[in-house]
C-alpha cells in the first residue's frame, strides 16, 4: 500500500496548500506597514512623546479635529441635500445634475485648492474686477476674506469630497418605500417634515458611512492643508521627519493618525449596526418624484448647481485656462517624463494589487483554515490609513533592510548594488499596493461570490486543477470586475500625493508631485498641464462609477 493511500483524509486536508500560504503571505505584506508604524512609535530611537505633547501635538490634533468635522459636516449637508432633491423632485436640469454632481470626485482636493487661490487672490479675476468696479487702488481700500485659512481648506475639501455622501445617500433615498412618504403626508407632514422625520432617519446609516469616508480622506490630505498653511497631523509627519530629521517622532505622530482613522472606521461600523431598517412590505413601491414649478424649481436647480460649480467647474476652468495660456508647457520633456513615471508605477501597482487581491480571495475560499479568513478583512485597513502613515511604515524598515542587504552583498562579493528597494520606485509601488489593496480585494471578493460553486466543482470533476479552474472558470466571469478594479486602482495611484512625496526616488516626479511642486512655487502655468492630465484620468473613474450606479 502506498503512503498516499494509507494517509487519512483529514491529514491530507490539514496540510496547507500553496494557495493558503500565498494568501497568508499577501495579507501579512499588506498589514506589515501598519504594524511597522506601531512598532516604531512604541520603540523609537529617540522618544519625543513629552516634547510633542508639550509643543506641537495639541495644535495638530485640534486643527485636524476642526478640519475633519468641518469637512464631514459640510459634506453631509451638501451631499444629503442634493441627494434628497434629485431623488424626490423633478426640476430643470435634474437628469443632468444627478450625474454632474459626481464630477468633483475627478478633481483632487489639492488641485481645487490651487485653483481657488488663483481665482480669489489679490491678482486674481475676482479682486481685480472689484477694484475696477469700485475704483479701489490697493488692498487697504477694502476688506476681502483670508483665502489661505482653515475655512478655505474646509470649503475646498468639502467641495471635492461631498459626492461620497451624495452617492450613498441618493441610493438610500431611492430604496425607501413610497408608502412611508404617503403615511407621513396623510398625517399632515409637509415637505420638510417628511425629510426630517422619515427620509433622514432612514438614510442615516448611508450618511454616516459617507461622512466617515470624507473625514478619513480629510485626515489623509496633505496638498490642500500644506498649501493653505494649516498644520494638521499629516503635515506634522512631514515636518517632524523631513525638517526635524526625527523618524521616531514621525512614527509617533503617524500612530496618532492611525488610531484616529481606526476610531472613525469603528464608529462607522457601530453606527450602521445600530441603525438598520427593514422593509416589511412584500411590495416595494419607490417614491414618486414631485414636479416643482416656478421659483421652487429654479431654487432646486441652483442648490444642486452650486456645489457642482464650486467642486468641478471652477477648478477645471482655472486649470484649463492656465493650460491654454501656457500651451508651450505641453512640450516640456519633464512633464511627459512625469506622465511616463505615473503610467509605469500606477499601472504596475494596479496589476499587482488586483492580481494579489484575486489570489488572496481565491486562496481564502479554497482554505478551510481560520487564519486566512481572519486576515482577509484586516487587509482593508490600508485603504483607511493615510498615505503619510504608510510612507513612514514602509520607508523606515525598508531602508534598514535595503542597507543591510547592500552591505552584505558588498562584503561577500565586493560589488555594491546600491539601494535596490528605496533607491528605485519599488517602495512607491509597494505603498500604492498596500494603500489601495482593499479595492482589488473587494472587487475580487464580490465578483467571485457571484460565481456558482457548481461551476468550479464541474471543472474539478473534469480534471482541472485549482489554478486552471481560476483561469478557465472564474476569470472569464470576473473579467469586467477585474477591469474596473484595475482602472480604479490606477486612478487612485495617479492622484495619491502624500505617500508619493515621501517614497519617490530622488529626482523622480509623477504628475501629482509635479502639480504640487509647481503650484507650491506659485507657478500654476507650469502645473496646469499635469493637473489637466490628472483631471482627465479622474474623469475616467467617475464615468465608470456613474455607469455602475445607474
pLDDT value at residue 243: 79
pLDDT value at residue 183: 59
Over the Cα atoms of the chain, what is R_g?
Answer: 26
Q: Check pLDDT > 50 for residue 451.
A: yes
Least confident of 195-209, 321-335, 344-358: 195-209
Nearest to 468, CA basis, from 19, 151, 2, 128: 19
Least confident of 32-46, 155-169, 311-325, 365-379: 365-379
What CA–CA distance (Å, rounded) separates 107 from 315? 8
Percent of the chain with pLDDT over 90: 31
Q: What share of the chain is helix, strand, coil (3-state, %, to 5)?
A: 80, 0, 20
CA distances to 335, 337, 506 from 425, rounded to whole Å, are 18, 14, 10
Nearest to 492, CA basis, from 548, 448, 438: 438
pLDDT value at residue 313: 94
The residue with greater pLDDT, 541 or 35, is 35
pLDDT value at residue 388: 87
Cell of 176: 425607501
Q: Find the mean pLDDT for residues 6-18.
A: 49
Nearest to 124, CA basis, from 107, 108, 147: 147
Query: Hunting for cell 445607474 — which residue is that?
Result: 550
Q: Check pLDDT > 60 for residue 503.
A: yes
Query: Hunting for cell 494568501 — which residue is that?
Result: 23
pLDDT value at residue 1: 37
Q: Find the mean pLDDT for residues 441-451.
A: 84
Least confident of 54-58, 220-224, 304-308, 341-345: 54-58
Tell me if residue 176 falls in helix, strand or coil. coil
Q: Check pLDDT > 60 for residue 24.
A: yes
Q: Check pLDDT > 50 for residue 540.
A: yes
Domain boundaries, the chain: 17-40+331-550
pLDDT value at residue 5: 39
Phi and psi torsions of 90, nearest 5°: -110, 130
Cell of 362: 481565491
For residue range 248-305, what is the model confidence (pLDDT) as tens digits?
788 888 888 888 888 877 776 666 665 555 454 545 556 677 888 889 899 999 999 9
Nearest to 354, CA basis, from 266, 436, 260: 436
Q: Check pLDDT > 90 for residue 339.
A: yes
Q: Find the mean pLDDT for residues 434-454.
A: 86
Helix 333-366 × helix 18-42 angle, to 10°: 120
What lies within 8 Å, CB to CB, of 420 at 6+ separation is: 402, 405, 406, 426
For residue range 94-129, what is the model confidence (pLDDT) as tens digits?
999 999 999 998 899 999 999 999 999 888 899 989
Full DSSP string of 390-458? HHHHHHHHHHHHHHHHHHHHHHHHS-----TTTSSTHHHHHHHHHHTHHHHHHHHHHHHHTS-HHHHHH
What CA–CA distance (Å, rounded) separates 421 from 419? 6
Q: Which of 191-205, 341-355, 529-543 has the highest mean pLDDT?
A: 341-355
pLDDT value at residue 189: 66
67: confidence class by pLDDT, cuts 50, 70, 90: very high
Q: Find the mean pLDDT for residues 315-337.
A: 91
Q: Check pLDDT > 50 for residue 8.
A: no
Mean pLDDT of the chain: 84
Nearest to 495, CA basis, from 527, 530, 520, 522: 530
pLDDT value at residue 346: 93
Cell of 300: 432646486
Exposed/middle/buried for residue 493 (C-beta within 10 Å: 0-12, 13-18, 19+):
buried
Q: Check pLDDT > 80 for residue 390.
A: yes
CATH top-level class of 17-40+331-550:
mainly alpha
pLDDT value at residue 283: 54
What CA–CA distance (Å, rounded) separates 107 from 47? 39
pLDDT value at residue 202: 72
Amino acid at each position: 500500500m502506498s503512503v498516499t493511500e494509507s494517509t487519512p483524509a483529514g491529514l491530507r486536508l490539514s496540510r496547507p496548500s500553496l494557495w493558503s500560504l500565498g494568501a497568508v503571505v499577501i495579507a501579512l505584506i499588506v498589514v506589515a506597514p501598519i504594524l511597522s508604524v506601531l512598532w516604531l512609535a512604541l520603540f523609537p530611537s529617540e522618544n519625543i512623546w513629552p516634547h510633542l505633547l508639550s509643543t506641537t501635538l495639541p495644535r495638530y490634533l485640534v486643527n485636524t479635529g476642526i478640519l475633519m468635522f468641518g469637512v464631514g459636516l459640510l459634506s453631509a449637508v451638501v451631499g444629503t441635500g442634493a441627494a434628497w432633491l434629485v431623488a424626490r423632485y423633478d426640476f430643470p436640469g435634474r437628469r443632468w445634475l444627478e450625474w454632474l454632481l459626481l464630477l468633483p470626485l475627478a478633481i483632487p482636493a489639492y488641485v481645487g485648492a490651487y485653483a481657488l487661490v488663483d481665482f480669489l487672490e489679490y491678482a486674481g479675476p475676482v479682486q481685480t474686477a472689484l477694484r475696477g468696479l469700485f475704483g479701489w487702488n490697493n488692498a487697504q481700500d477694502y476688506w476681502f476674506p483670508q483665502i489661505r485659512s482653515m475655512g478655505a481648506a474646509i470649503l475646498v475639501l468639502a467641495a471635492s469630497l461631498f459626492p461620497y455622501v451624495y452617492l450613498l445617500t441618493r441610493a438610500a433615498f431611492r430604496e425607501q418605500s413610497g408608502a412611508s412618504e404617503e403615511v407621513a403626508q396623510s398625517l399632515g407632514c409637509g415637505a420638510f417634515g417628511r425629510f426630517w422625520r422619515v427620509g433622514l432617519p432612514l438614510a442615516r446609516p448611508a450618511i454616516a458611512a459617507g461622512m466617515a469616508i470624507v473625514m478619513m480622506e480629510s485626515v489623509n490630505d496633505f496638498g490642500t492643508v500644506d498649501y493653505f498653511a494649516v498644520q494638521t497631523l499629516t503635515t506634522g509627519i512631514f515636518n517632524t521627519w523631513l525638517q526635524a530629521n526625527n523618524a521616531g517622532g514621525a512614527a509617533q505622530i503617524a500612530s496618532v493618525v492611525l488610531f484616529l482613522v481606526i476610531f472613525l472606521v469603528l464608529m462607522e461600523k457601530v453606527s450602521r449596526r445600530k441603525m438598520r431598517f427593514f422593509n416589511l412590505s412584500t411590495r416595494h413601491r419607490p417614491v414618486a418624484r414631485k414636479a416643482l414649478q416656478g421659483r421652487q424649481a429654479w431654487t432646486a436647480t441652483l442648490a444642486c448647481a452650486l456645489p457642482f460649480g464650486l467642486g468641478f467647474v471652477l477648478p477645471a476652468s482655472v486649470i484649463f485656462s492656465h493650460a491654454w495660456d501656457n500651451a508651450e508647457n505641453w512640450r516640456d520633456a519633464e512633464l511627459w517624463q512625469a506622465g511616463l513615471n505615473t503610467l509605469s508605477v500606477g499601472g504596475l501597482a494596479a496589476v499587482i494589487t488586483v492580481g494579489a487581491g484575486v489570489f488572496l480571495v481565491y486562496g481564502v475560499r479554497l482554505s478551510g483554515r481560520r487564519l486566512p479568513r481572519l486576515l482577509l478583512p484586516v487587509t482593508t485597513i490600508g485603504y483607511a490609513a493615510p498615505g503619510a502613515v504608510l510612507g513612514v511604515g514602509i520607508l523606515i524598515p525598508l531602508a534598514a533592510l535595503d542597507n543591510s542587504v547592500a552591505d552584505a552583498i558588498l562584503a561577500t562579493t565586493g560589488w555594491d548594488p546600491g539601494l535596490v528597494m528605496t533607491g528605485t520606485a519599488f517602495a512607491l509601488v509597494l505603498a500604492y499596493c498596500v494603500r489601495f489593496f482593499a479595492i482589488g480585494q473587494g472587487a475580487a471578493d464580490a465578483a467571485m461570490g457571484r460565481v456558482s460553486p457548481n461551476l468550479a466543482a464541474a471543472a474539478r470533476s473534469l480534471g482541472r486543477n485549482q489554478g486552471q479552474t481560476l483561469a478557465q472558470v472564474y476569470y472569464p466571469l470576473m473579467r469586467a470586475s477585474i477591469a474596473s478594479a484595475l482602472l480604479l486602482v490606477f486612478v487612485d495611484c495617479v492622484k495619491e500625493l502624500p505617500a508619493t512625496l515621501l517614497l519617490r526616488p530622488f529626482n523622480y516626479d509623477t504628475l501629482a508631485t509635479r502639480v504640487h511642486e509647481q503650484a507650491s512655487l506659485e507657478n500654476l502655468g507650469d502645473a496646469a498641464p499635469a493637473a489637466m492630465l490628472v483631471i482627465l484620468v479622474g474623469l475616467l473613474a467617475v464615468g465608470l462609477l456613474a455607469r455602475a450606479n445607474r
